[in-house]
Chain A
Amino acid sequence: MGYKMGLKEFDKIFEILSQDYEIYGPKTIEKAGRFSDTNNIRYEKISSIEELEYKEKSLFSPKDVLFPVNETMFNIEGEKLKEIEEEDKKYLIFLRSCDLNAIDRLDNMFLKNGNIEDNYYKKKRQNTKFILMECIESYLNCFCVSMNTNKADNYSMGIKLANDEIYLEIKDKEFDDLFKGCEKENYTVKFIEENQHKVEVPNIEDIKLELFNDEMWEAYDRCIGCGRCNFSCPTCTCFTTTDIYYDENKTKGERRRTWASCHVDGFSDMAGGHSFRQNTGSRMRYKVMHKIYNYKKRFGENMCVGCGRCDDRCPEYISYAKCINLVTEKTREEA
Chain B
Amino acid sequence: MNPYMTYPAKIKKIEKHTDIDYTFYIEKIFDVREGQFFQVSIPKHGEAPISISTFDDETIELTIRRVGIVTDEIFNKTVGDYIYLRGPYGNYFDVEKYFGRDLVIISGGTGLAPVKGVVKYFAENRDKVNSIKLISGFKSSKDILFRDDFKDWEDKIDCILTIDREEEDWDGHVGFVTDYAKNLDTSNLDNLRVIMVGPPPMMKFTGIELNKIGIEDENITVSFERKMSCGIGKCGHCRIDETYVCLEGPIFDYKQGKKLID
Contact between chain A and chain B defined by CB under 8 Å: yes
Any chain A CB within 8 A of the CB of B41?
yes
Interface of B: prevailing SS: loop
Cβ of A241 and Cβ of B235 under 8 Å apart?
yes
Complex formed: what's the CA distance from A220 to B2 in Å?
40
Cβ of A241 and Cβ of B44 under 8 Å apart?
no
Any chain A CB within 8 A of the CB of B19?
no
In the complex formed, the residue of B with least CB distance to A111 is: B234
Any chain A CB within 8 A of the CB of B6?
yes
8 Å CB contacts to B: which residues of A203-234? 209, 212-213
Interface size class of A (residues with CB under 8 A): 35 or more
Interface of A: prevailing SS: mixed
A79-B82, A80-B43, A212-B261 known; A271 and B70 CB under 8 Å?
yes
Any chain A CB within 8 A of the CB of B121?
no
Complex formed: what's the CA distance from A74 to B44 in Å?
10
Q: What's the minimum C-beta distance from A243 to chain B, rounded to whole angstroms? A: 4
Cβ of A116 and Cβ of B241 under 8 Å apart?
no
Complex formed: what's the CA distance from A114 to B233 in Å?
6
Any chain A CB within 8 A of the CB of B178?
no
Which of A113, A245, A275 lies in contact with B247, CB distance below 8 A?
A113
Which of B1, B44, B225 lies in contact with A76, CB distance below 8 A?
B44
Interface string of A71-100 (1 = CB under 8 A from B): 001101011110100000000000000000
Cβ of A73 and Cβ of B4 under 8 Å apart?
yes
Complex formed: what's the CA distance from A277 to B226 in Å?
12
Cβ of B232 and Cβ of A114 under 8 Å apart?
yes
Contacts of A289 in B (CB 8 A): 241
In the complex formed, the residue of B with least CB distance to A252 is: B44
Interface centre among A81, A113, A269 (most CB of B within 10 A): A81
In the complex formed, the residue of A with least CB distance to B241 is: A294
Cβ of B44 and Cβ of A118 under 8 Å apart?
no
In the complex formed, the residue of A with least CB distance to B230 is: A241
Any chain A CB within 8 A of the CB of B13?
no
Cβ of B71 and Cβ of A244 under 8 Å apart?
no
8 Å CB contacts to B: which residues of A62-76? 73-74, 76
Q: What's the minimum C-beta distance from A158 to chain B, rounded to whole angstroms? A: 31
Cβ of B68 and Cβ of A271 under 8 Å apart?
yes
Any chain B CB within 8 A of the CB of A262?
yes
Contacts of A146 in B (CB 8 A): none
8 Å CB contacts to A: which residues of B184-220? 199-200
Complex formed: what's the CA distance from A273 to B71 in Å?
14
In the complex formed, the residue of B with least CB distance to A251 is: B44
Which of A78, A244, A270, A290 lies in contact with B225, CB distance below 8 A?
A270
Interface string of A242-259 (1 = CB under 8 A from B): 111100001001010100
A274-B199, A297-B242 known; A244 and B44 CB under 8 Å?
yes
Cβ of A271 and Cβ of B67 under 8 Å apart?
yes
Complex formed: what's the CA distance from A262 to B200 in Å?
19
Any chain B CB within 8 A of the CB of A130?
no
Any chain A CB within 8 A of the CB of B26?
no
Which of B5, B42, B226, B233 lies in contact with A268, CB distance below 8 A?
B226
Q: What's the minimum C-beta distance from A3 to chain B, rounded to whole angstroms? A: 40
A-B contact pairs, 17 of them (CB 8 A): A79-B43, A81-B5, A81-B84, A109-B236, A110-B234, A116-B232, A212-B261, A238-B236, A240-B235, A243-B45, A260-B236, A268-B262, A270-B227, A271-B48, A272-B67, A276-B262, A294-B239
Known contacts A116-B3, A243-B44; 13 additional CB pairs below 8 A are A74-B43, A79-B44, A109-B234, A114-B246, A116-B232, A243-B47, A255-B47, A270-B226, A271-B68, A275-B227, A294-B239, A294-B242, A298-B242
